[in-house]
Amino acid sequence: MQSSRARSSVKDDKDGHLVYWPGYVMGARYKIIDTLGEGTFGKVVEVKDLEMEHRMALKIIKNVEKYREAAKLEINVLEKLADVDPDCKNLCVKMLDWFEYHGHMCIAFEMLGQSVFDFLKDNNYQPYPLEQVRHISYQLIYSVLFLHDNKLTHTDLKPENILFVDSDYEVVSVYNGSKKVSSDKHDLRRVKRSDVRLIDFGSATFDHEHHSTIVSTRHYRAPEVILELGWSQPCDVWSIGCIMFELYLGITLFQTHDNREHLAMMERILGPIPYRMARKTRTKYFYHGKLDWDEKSSAGRYVRENCKPLLRYLQSNSEEARQLFELIARMLEYEPSQRITLREALKHPFFNKLPPHQRLGNDRPRCNGESSGSRERSHSLSR
């Protein structure tokens, strides 16, 4: 009797995570089935809604003030997106419910598959086929353009925040002529459907809101963010360029944890950082407008040996691969004002071969410019 009484009281662990177990019922409604993932913010669990009889993903935020406040901001963004796009035609994850449970903010979402990152990792970092790179990239651009049109910047775009709707896969054996390249153990997984949804709006920022100095996960962080020159929607475009490279090659473009080294990698891959940006930054990474970087140091050797000019990463001479890299290069323009916009990116020749059934909403988000009514709704989003 005593153990069941102890179990019935709500407890947190030392980090602020809710202590739960399979079968634990929250608020007499949500029965926890399994843990799906964990992050700095808390945990994501699979639950069964006992009222509606369906399964959902429930994000249980740590019982910590700063994460609780961040969750409230995310809920605010998700509610406003739902006002403008109730049917989720713009591919942002659908929030089904939210509530507070003993100090934990909880957000319920539709159940989705693996992230494009986890699928890549489980596939031994074998890259996606080019037609899937095209489809995933197109959907990502389309979805983030919807945010941009509604005065939002996502600020944390990365492969972990792009989820397959369904990550079922088939196993493909790879052959090279008559000789098999991979053993059975390393047969490749190929996702059957490359439909995706964008998740994690915890850092999404409206144009009129305070802009944190540093945003984005390191590897996808734009130069203007590192140089503390201020940022807006173009920083998302930079992140998408990095993601498209990773989908195509299976490797991270900027594999580093240090600002100066990150800038040195950019210069090795993309050429020198513009003098205007070097002169304007108040950071201490430049000397007389040039990156203060010792190429003969061990870090210098590491960058030289592990990075090369962007076009040298091309895996084939096909027109499609060249188009992909031309688009990536346009997304990785140093100057935010020179970077391609997502509306322009959707019209890039790389997407010409996208089959008609994969195209969305006449190739443009539906929220702005269709009628005065829809314009008013999208403008009200940022109020």
Report, as residue numbers or ranges, the catalytic residues.
156
Read off the tokens for 188: 């490749």
Instruction: Tell me whether residue 99 is exposed, middle or buried, using C-beta atoms within 10 angstroms of its C-beta: 0 to 12, 13 to 18, 19 or more.
Output: middle
CA-based nearest residue to 139, from 376, 346, 356: 346
CA distance 237 to 239: 5
Annotation: binding site: 59
55: DSSP letter:
E
Distances (CA, A) of 231 to 102, 213, 333, 336: 37, 8, 14, 8
> Hey, is 280 helix, strand or coil?
helix
Annotation: binding site for ATP: 59
Dihedral of CA 203/310/282/298: which sign?
positive
Q: For residues 357 and 63, is the Cβ–Cβ distance under 8 A?
A: no
Dihedral of CA 94/99/100/101: which sign?
negative
Q: Which DSSP string do the residues of 291-347 spell out, in sequence order?
A: E---TTSHHHHHHHHH---GGGG-S---HHHHHHHHHHHHHT-SSTTTSPPHHHHHT
